Amino acid sequence: MTARDPRIAEVALVTCADERYLEPEVHDAAAALRAAGVFADVVSWDEDRNWGAYELVVVRTPWDYFDRLPEFLGWAAQVERQTALVNPADVLRWNSHKGYLAEFTAKGVPTVPTLMVPGPSTDVADQIREVPWQEIVVKPAVDGGARHAWRGRRDDPALTRVAEVDHQPNSAELRVALSAMEAAPGRLSYARVDLVNWQDAPALIELEVIEPDLFFRGVPERMDRFVEVVQEELAAARAPT
């Protein structure tokens, strides 16, 4: 068997070049993979690369994708024609619009009640006032990082920024999270499931499969598990079909 040239990366961890969204965690993940014997590059999704030279492309932190959605989805489809891509392009497309929450509700996944307001609507405030919920969160259907998400009372225009918190899930929350991942339209290699307490039970507010922050910071076990998943995906990509 011919030995692989060690200068050629096996895995690409995909990020973005936009300086507004740069973060160190993807580089930490690449270092952890290299320490485990997997040579990984950190590459912006819009770089001019021969993506087929990688055995596996892992979409990690393309935090500008929502600013250039058609271009990003076209890139994902193109890469998948050349090599293994996780998560799959069809799943990325599906997850890029929060209309998927309605699909989860239809499939019986506990999901917070959701009102989808068509983009051209001019009576958004009137529609919000008609919902039966006292507390609301307003967010774009295509966006990320809670960048334009606001929380407040339906009759109070003084909405506030939404904040994320780190949390150890209980058994009921894990059941909802797993049901959401199983209801996705394709296999997930990784995801982050965001839940809230709704009527004394956990309910889904978002399933992040494109660029989830996996909160590796300060928790080595999470990074170790990520390395294991990438190794598993790399082995699957190398397996004869």
> CA of 147: how far to CAs of 92, 124, 194, in Å?
19, 19, 15
pLDDT in tens, 69-79: 999 999 999 99
Residue with tokens 């259907």: 141
pLDDT at 5: 45
- pTM reported for the whole predicted model: 0.81
Structural domains in the chain? 11-95+214-238 (3.40.50.20), 100-208 (no CATH)
pLDDT at 99: 86
Closest CA to 30 of 230, 240, 234: 230
pLDDT at 3: 42
CA torsion angle for 238, 58, 84, 94 (degrees, to 10)?
140
Q: What are phi and psi of 71, to 5 degrees?
A: -65, -45
Helices (H) and strands (E) in the chain — how many of each? 7, 9
Distance CA 116, CA 127 (A): 10
Distance CA 21, CA 31 (A): 20
Does a cis peptide bond (omega within 30 degrees of 0) precede residue 87? yes
Tell me the pLDDT of the chain (241 aa) as tens digits.
334 444 457 999 999 988 777 778 899 999 999 999 999 999 999 999 999 999 999 999 998 898 899 999 999 999 999 999 999 999 999 999 888 888 999 999 999 887 666 665 555 566 666 666 666 666 665 565 555 555 666 566 555 444 556 667 899 999 999 999 999 999 999 999 989 888 899 999 889 999 998 888 878 899 999 999 999 999 999 998 7
Residues 6+ apart with CB under 8 A from 135: 151, 152, 153, 154
Q: Provide the strand spans (E) within 70-225.
A: 84-86, 135-138, 150-153, 160-161, 192-198, 201-208
pLDDT at 196: 84
